[in-house]
Amino acid sequence: MRNLHGLVSFTEVATAGSFTGAAAKLNLTPAAVSKNVARLEAQLGVRLFNRSTRQVHLTEEGERLRERTAPALRALDEAVSEISQARGGAVGRVRISVGVSFGRQYVLPLLPAITAANPELQVDVSLENRPVDMLAEGFDIVIRGGVIEESSLVARRIARLPLVLLASPEYLRDRGVPVAPADLAGHDLLGVRLPGGGEIPWRFRRPGGRGSFQIPLRARLWLSDPEALLGLACDHAGIAQAGLHHAMPHLRAGRLKVVLHEQHDASEREIVLHYPHRLYLAPRVRVTVDALLAGLAGNRDLHARPDTLPQSFLA
């Protein structure tokens, strides 16, 4: 096969939509990927991409070439991966993007066992709260809240993520325990600012189950990281809204208490693991996905519910 490097580079750029994303996937520099594509274009005598400073777009000839090469190259990659798996397990590098707090608390503790069981597997983890473009940036697995509507990705729900309101026993002793949402107006509130600039509202159930309502959040302090938010709450700075899965170690240690648990709306968020379409999923990715899902499914803290917390966790 003539110019296999050029065909592989071309296909990865077409899939990722950028030379940078293709380079990350192929473990090459963007310059090397660009050179491979340029050689292929010279060999074929046609331009395959229209390039701008930020994006690349396939030409008509590029679209036709991708239609023919992508399935063939995926089949070759699958064949090589199957042989590698048959001779001893997953081989190669898996790139994972996961939120900072969730990654530290739940994902990182699972990785030593995964790599120990697969000696030829390398796991590269990016801890970051920003939205990522999975294909363009060359990630194999992305773990985030919500569901990405993208047909080329598979979304597997890890767990629901109920929200709770929390404060330290010392703060509640000094400032009093709120017994109704209206009481929050007299308290110091701690808010989370999302990467896009928005915020997660504080919602409460109406009496008799007649829907819910939202209160204006006049927070004294705003943070972008759940760990830092809970740290401030543990230091008696005020009342915070956070995911129960993040709060469980502090509740168990008695550093925080849940307030207004019967009136607060837990807001059924969820955490989701995304990976490329399962049809051509490489064994290194499949092994990592299965191990992560199994490990996360067995974590009791991750699946705790506000209505089943022991009385000692409540204010």
**102 and 135, same structural domain?**
yes
Residue 266, pLDDT score? 86
**167 and 263, same structural domain?**
yes
Instruction: Tell me whether residue 83 is in a domain.
Output: no
**248 and 193, same structural domain?**
yes
The rounded distance, in Å, linking the Cα atoms of 226 and 298 is 23
CATH number at residue 11: 1.10.10.10
CATH number at residue 110: 3.40.190.10
Token pair of 185 as six digits: 């107006």
Give, for 255, the enclosing helix (H) or strand (E).
none
Full residue range of the structural domain in which residue 26 is found: 4-72
**224 and 169, same structural domain?**
yes
Q: What is the pTM of this model?
A: 0.68
Instruction: Tell me whether residue 86 is in a domain.
Output: no
**201 and 141, same structural domain?**
no
Query: What tens digit of pLDDT does each residue of 222-261 get?
Result: 988 888 999 999 999 999 999 999 999 999 999 999 999 9
Query: What tens digit of pLDDT does each residue of 101-147 get?
Result: 899 999 999 999 999 999 999 999 999 888 888 877 888 999 988 65
Query: What tens digit of pLDDT does each residue of 259-276 get?
Result: 999 999 988 788 999 988
In the chain, the amino acid numbered 194 is: L
pLDDT tier at 288, thresholds 50, 70, 90:
very high
Residue written as tokens 């993208």? 150
Q: CA gyration radius for the chain? A: 24
Token pair of 10 as six digits: 């071309």
Domain tally for the chain?
3
Mean pLDDT, the chain, integer: 86
The residue-averaged pLDDT of 62-80 equals: 78
**191 and 53, same structural domain?**
no
Residue 151, pLDDT score? 54
**245 and 183, same structural domain?**
yes
The rounded distance, in Å, linking the Cα atoms of 116 and 182 is 53
Q: Is the dihedral of CA 107, 133, 194, 270 positive or negative?
A: negative
**275 and 262, same structural domain?**
no
The rounded distance, in Å, linking the Cα atoms of 175 and 76 is 66
**184 and 48, same structural domain?**
no
Cα→Cα distances 202→12, 240, 249, 303, Å: 43, 10, 22, 21
Instruction: Tell me whether residue 79 is in a domain.
Output: no
